[in-house]
Amino acid sequence: MGIPVEQILIQTINGLVNGMILALVASGLTLIFGIMDVVNFAHGELVMLGAFTGATTLAVTGNFWLALVAATLIVAMFGAALQISTLRPLIGRDPLTTILATFGISLVLQKYALWQWGPSARKLQEPISAQFSLFYLKYPWYRITTALLSAAIIGALYLFLKYGKYGIWIRAAIQDRVMAQAMGIPVPLLHTAVFAIGAGMAAASGVLFGPLAGVTQTIGADFTLRAFIVVVVGGMGNLGGSILASIFISLLEAYASLIVSPAQAVIVSFVALILTLLFRPTGLFVPTPK
Amino acid sequence: MRHTDASYWIGFCVILALLAVAPLVLPEFWRRFVTEILIWGLLAMSSDILIGYTGMVSFGHSAFFGLGMYGAAAVLLAIKPANLWLAMLAGLAAAAVVAMFVAYFATRLRDIYFAITTLVFSQIFYVIIFTWTEVTGGENGLNFSRPALAIPGLFSVPFTTETLHWFVLAVVTVSYLVVRRVTQSPFGMVLQAIRENEPRARAIGYSVERYKMVAVMLSGLFAGLAGILYAIQNKFAAPDFVFFLISGEVVIFNVMGGMGTLVGPIAGAAFFLLLREGLSRYFTEYYLIPVGIIFTAMVIFMPQGLLGFARRRLNQ
């Protein structure tokens, strides 16, 4: 049984689009881990929260782009509040306690979403309904836009970290927290800011993801797990690595779903994770440590 | 020293006696409830070997629990007449195989990486069980009838709520004593040394990886035992019990009760289940909102858990 070339090409594009959305989630997660050693178990829940906030805003205003911006800002502020109330008291404790605390938060958020928005799936109306023909398929332009927009947000983050004044502060705090503090950088404030940025990026990907599939309160756990896999495969705390890993893992899953059902295709990424941990525990896309 | 020893054993006997009498005095609903607490307590205690004594947070205990469940279910369905002991053996074997597999790969990693890897492993088993409908029944799980409590050639009685409770109590008590003995043995001391300072334990010359692997396997075995008991109590095996939320609940039991005390996690399980029972009257299915808030607050303000204050005494 051969697989037609068109299908492989279509899956390549699907994989790239999904990979860019995932990269948006994972880069926030890895940034948060890099600066404060916090493994945010509630990251997927922020994606979910963003998607629901976006859906509500869209229903009120009817403007998708406004919903995207509003959801990003609201969830970013929420993230800052979350960091101040639950993660700031844990600074200096065992990093494992942050897993526990964020796990507790994820439970609360998931059930809150169920209570607030109900169990039925919501689908956001896509802002661009145009399609172009790809072999025998009509491929929606919206998916392509999503990938480009995700890339733009990540690119902006990269430029901000590289050249922005506060970006340089963040990078300094990642390298050496104590020294950065000694130089007068307000590290606790930076932690809150980075958490807010990560939360905002998660929310943005939630809104972008909304039109592609139904939004339910359970998508959070799925995103958390996939983002974890990507972040570990790409090398924890490594921004470029996790972006490449997002694309790599999504492509693998897209190709695998040509052969098995999508539910089983997830196993391919699990196996990729295990192989990475066995042979290159520092991450696939980082230089070999000396 | 002798004094605390005596008071410990007196306390142990009193609680054991209370638990043994419980099914005779409690109404039907609470009888089942106490049995359930014991089963979840056993699962939480098994995870305490890793969290409390070795310093590894496992987010994959649902895999061991679930595989114990499905192992027992497979034998109960395949072999007629149903045999309790064969089912337990099969459940333990299934949990042991999975534990070996997880132990081999996951113990190469530390801290957060260990937690994520165990989580991913449990999800692998979840996906396999969920999608392999012909063998596992997929989403519906497996239903079977409860085997009789029997010793071949001696006696055979069907389980009632009381005898099931005593059977579970006996298994949990023996497991507790075994795990307690293990954590106080030289082996257990090495585990605690790894928790306190891994590089130093390695430098002294202990093969840290090997100790961790044995710890994971031991923990997985007892988690599997809990799964078998749960399968026998409820007469079904379902993929929901392999899903990682169960692992999360196990971690909650540990944090609420007090890590590194063995009894603490059992108390934590009791506390959680009581909380759920009480709160679900007001909050119905949203009981996890207040429970999650209480849990997060406990992580921040009460990291020792409910029984943390008694940690030294319980480990004497």
Residue B11 is predicted with a pLDDT of: 83
pLDDT at A228 over 60: yes
pLDDT at A200 over 90: yes
| Contact flag A101-B296 (C-beta cutoff 8 Å) | yes
Lowest mean pLDDT: which of A96-105, A280-289, B197-206, B227-236?
A280-289
Mean pLDDT of B72-98: 85
| B199 within some domain | yes
pLDDT at B59 over 60: yes
Closest-CA distance, A97 to chain B, in angstroms, reads 7
DSSP bridge pairs for B156:
B150
| B20 within some domain | no
Lowest mean pLDDT: which of A69-73, B85-89, B142-146, B208-212?
B142-146
pLDDT-based confidence at residue B62 (cuts at 50, 70, 90):
very high
| B263 within some domain | no
Q: How far is residue B123 CA from its own chain's centroid?
A: 18
Mean pLDDT of A283-288: 70
Q: Which of A36, A93, A107, A242 to mutate to test the interface with B (most CBs of B within 10 A)?
A: A107
Express each pLDDT in B25-40 by its tens digit.
Answer: 888 788 888 888 999 9
| B90 within some domain | yes
Q: How far is CA A217 from CA A49, A108, B253, in A?
A: 8, 11, 24
| Contact flag B109-A277 (C-beta cutoff 8 Å) | yes
Q: Please measure the distance between the N-terminal and C-terminal CA atoms of chain A and give it in whole angstroms.
A: 45
DSSP bridge pairs for B237:
B142
**Closest chain A residue to B111 measured between Cα atoms?**
A96
Interface subset of A 60-119, CB within 8 angstroms of B: 86, 89-90, 93, 95-97, 99-101, 103-105, 107-108, 110-112, 114-115
Q: Is the dihedral of CA A73, A77, B59, B175 positive or negative?
A: negative
| Contact flag B296-A261 (C-beta cutoff 8 Å) | no
Buried b (16+ CB within 10 A) or exposed e, B85-106: eebbebbbbbbbebbebbbebb
pLDDT at B314 over 80: no
| Contact flag B286-A267 (C-beta cutoff 8 Å) | no
pLDDT-based confidence at residue B214 (cuts at 50, 70, 90):
very high
Separation between Cα atoms, residue B157 and residue A114, nearest integer Å:
45
| Contact flag B112-A263 (C-beta cutoff 8 Å) | no
Please tell me the pTM assigned to this model: 0.85
Mean pLDDT of B279-300: 85
| B5 within some domain | no
The 3-class SS string of chain A reads CCCCHHHHHHHHHHHHHHHHHHHHHHHHHHHHHHHHCCCCCCHHHHHHHHHHHHHHHHHHHCCHHHHHHHHHHHHHHHHHHHHHHHHHHHCCCCHHHHHHHHHHHHHHHHHHHHHHHCCCCECCCCCCCCEEEECCEEEEHHHHHHHHHHHHHHHHHHHHHHHCHHHHHHHHHHHCHHHHHHCCCCHHHHHHHHHHHHHHHHHHHHHHHCCCCCECCCHHHHHHHHHHHHHHHHCCCCHHHHHHHHHHHHHHHHHHHHHCCHHHHHHHHHHHHHHHHHHCCCCCCCCCCC
| B240 within some domain | yes
| B147 within some domain | yes
Give chain B positions within 8 Å (CB) of A95. Answer: 111-112
| Contact flag A96-B289 (C-beta cutoff 8 Å) | no
Is-cis flag, bond preceding A186, omega within 30? no
DSSP bridge pairs for B157:
B149
Dihedrals phi, psi of B269, to nearest 5 degrees:
-60, -45
Residue A260 is predicted with a pLDDT of: 80
pLDDT at A289 over 70: no
Interface subset of B 97-136, CB within 8 angstroms of A: 105, 108-109, 111-113, 115-117, 119-121, 123-124, 127-128, 130-131
Range of the domain at B207: 31-250
Closest-CA distance, A144 to chain B, in angstroms, reads 30
Residue B2 is predicted with a pLDDT of: 57
Mean pLDDT of A109-132: 82
| B4 within some domain | no
Decide if the complex's ipTM is over 0.95.
no
- Number of domains within chain B: 1
pLDDT at A220 over 80: yes
Residue A2 is predicted with a pLDDT of: 65
Closest-CA distance, A172 to chain B, in angstroms, reads 23
Mean pLDDT of A119-129: 79
| Contact flag A96-B115 (C-beta cutoff 8 Å) | yes
Closest-CA distance, B141 to chain A, in angstroms, reads 17
Express each pLDDT in B114-161 by its tens digit.
Answer: 888 888 888 888 888 888 877 777 777 787 777 777 777 677 777 777
Give chain A positions within 8 Å (CB) of B302. Answer: none
